[in-house]
Structure 1
Amino acid sequence: MTGYPREVGAGWLEPLLTYPGHLDVSLHIEPIPQQVAAMRLRRQLARLESASRSDAAHGRLADFAAEAAADDATDLADSLARGHGRLFKVGLYLTITAATEPELAAEVERVRALASSLLLDAQPATFRALQGWTTSLPLGVDSLRATRTFDTTALAAAFPFTSPDLPATAGESGVLYGLSATSSGVVVWDRYAQDNHNSVVLARSGAGKSFFTKLEALRLLYQGVEVAVVDPEDEYARLADAVGGTRLHLGAAGVRWNPFDLPASHGSQDDVLSRRAMFLQTLIATMLGGAKLTAQARAALDSAIIATYQAAGITRDPATWTRPAPLLADLVTTLTRKESEGQAGIELAAQLAPYVTGSYRELFDGPTTTHPAGHLTVFCLRDLPEEMKAVGTLLALDAIWRRVANPRDRKKRLVVVDEAWLLMKEPEGARFLFRMAKAARKHWAGLAVVTQDAADLLGSELGQAIVANAASQILLRQAPQAIGVVGDAFDLTDGERQFLLTAERGEALLVAGPASRIAFNIVASPAETALVTTDPAQLAELEQHDPPPHPPAAPPGAIQISEVHQDEESDPL
Structure 2
Amino acid sequence: MKRTRHRESASRQAPVGQAGAFTPDAISVRPRALEVGGEWVASFAVTGYPREVHPGWLQPLLTYPGRVDVSLHIEPIDPVTAANRLKKQLSKLESGRRHTSDKGRLIDPQVEAATEDAYDLSARVARGEGKLYRLGLYLTVHAATEEALGDEVAAIRSLAASLLLDCKPTTYRSLQGWITSLPMGLDLVGMRRTFDTSALSAAFPFTSPDLPPPDPTSVGAPRGVLYGFNVGSQGLVHHDRFALDNHNSVILGRSGAGKSYLVKLELLRSLYRGIEIHVIDPEDEYARLAAAVGGTYVHLGAEQVRLNPMDLTIHTRPDGRRTAPRDALIRRSLFLHTVISVLLGSELAATDRAALDRAITATYQRAGITSDPRTWTRPAPLLADLAEVLAEAGGADLAARLQPFTTGAFSGLFSGPTTTRPEGHLVVFSLRDLPGELKAIGTLLALDAVWRQVSNPAIRKPRQVVVDEAWLLMKDLAGGEFLLRMSKGSRKWWGGVTVATQDAPDVTSTDLGKAIIANAATQILLRQAPQAIDEICRIFDLSQGERQFLLTADRGQGLLSTGTQRVAFQSIASPVEHQLVTSNPAELAEYSDISPETETSFVDLDAA
TM-score where L is the length of structure 1: 0.67
In the alignment, what sits opposite 2:331? 275
Q: What letter corresponds to residue 338 of structure 2 in structure 1?
A: T
Which of 571, 574, 591 is equivalent to 1:525? Answer: 574
In the TM superposition, what is the alpha-carbon distance from 1:548 to its structure 2 partner?
3.8
Structural mapping, 1:169-568, within 5 Å: 169-170=213-214, 173-265=223-315, 267=323, 270-289=326-345, 291-337=346-392, 341-342=393-394, 345-513=395-563, 515-542=564-591, 545-548=592-595, 550=597, 563=604
User: In the TM superposition, what is the alpha-carbon distance from 1:201 to its structure 2 partner?
Assistant: 0.4
Matches within 5 A, 1:96-111: none
How has the CA–CA distance of structure 1 residues 320 and 244 changed in structure 2, closer, same or farther, with 3 Å as cutoff?
same
Deviations 1:341-388 (A, max 9, x none): 22xx11110010001111101111111111111000001000111111
Q: Secondary structure of the equivalent of 1:351? A: helix
Larger Rg: 2
Q: Secondary structure at the match of 2:560?
A: strand
Question: Would the alpha carbon gap of residues 166 and 2 (structure 1) be closer, same or farther in structure 2, given more than 3 Å must change?
Answer: farther
8 Å CA contact 1:2, 1:120 repeated in 2:
no
Deviation at 1:561, TM superposition (A): 11
Residue by residue over 1:1-25, the C-alpha shift from the partner in whole angstroms, topping out at 9 and shown as x without a partner, is: 878xxxxxxxxxxx9999879xxxx
Contact in 1 for aligned 2:250/2:517 (Cα 8 Å):
yes
Q: Is the 1:18–1:184 contact (alpha carbons within 8 Å) kept by the matching residues of 2?
A: no
The 1:115–1:321 alpha-carbon spacing in structure 2 relative to 1, beyond 3 Å, is farther
Q: Is the 8 A contact 2:264 2:286 kept in 1?
A: yes
Percent identity between matched residues is 57
**How far apart are the structure 1 equivalents of 2:342 and 2:549?**
38
- Distance in 2 between the 1:561 and 1:492 partners? 44
Structure 1 residues 16 and 512: CA distance shift in structure 2, 3 A: closer
Q: Point out the structure with the larger strand share.
A: 2
**How large is the Cα RMSD of the aligned pairs?**
3.1
The CA deviation at 1:443 is: 0.8
Q: Does the C-alpha gap of structure 1 residues 293 and 120 become closer, same or farther in structure 2, counting only changes over 3 Å?
A: farther
CA distance in 2, matches of 1:277, 1:418: 27
Check whether the contact 1:170–1:189 (CA below 8 A) recurs between aligned residues. no
Any unmatched runs of 5+ in structure 1? Answer: 4-14, 22-97, 99-112, 122-161, 553-559, 566-573
Q: Is the 8 A contact 1:421 1:456 kept in 2?
A: yes
CA deviation profile, 1:307-355 (whole Å, cap 9, x unmatched) = 1111111111111111111111111111111xxx22xx11110010001
CA distance in 1, matches of 2:488, 2:359: 30
Q: Check the 8 A contact 2:556/2:570 in 1, yes or no.
A: yes
Tell me the distance in 2 between the aligned counterparts of 1:118 and 1:548.
60
Compared CA separation, residues 509 and 224, structure 1 to 2 (3 A): same
Q: Distance in 1 between matches of 2:457 and 2:248?
A: 20
Give per-residue Cα distances to partners, 1:214-243, cap 9 Å, x unaligned. 000100000100000000000001110000
In the superposition, the TM-score normalised over structure 2's length comes to: 0.64
8 Å contact 1:180–1:518 — kept in the other structure? Answer: yes
Partner residue in 1 for 2:210 = 166
3-state SS of the aligned residue for 2:374? helix
Residue aligned with 1:352, SS: helix
Counterpart code for 1:180: N
What is the CA deviation profile of residues 178-230 of structure 1, one whole-angstrom value per residue up to 9, with x for unaligned ones? 00101101110010111111110000000000000000010000010000000
Residues 68-124 of structure 1: CA deviation (Å, up to 9, x unaligned): xxxxxxxxxxxxxxxxxxxxxxxxxxxxxx9xxxxxxxxxxxxxx999968499xxx
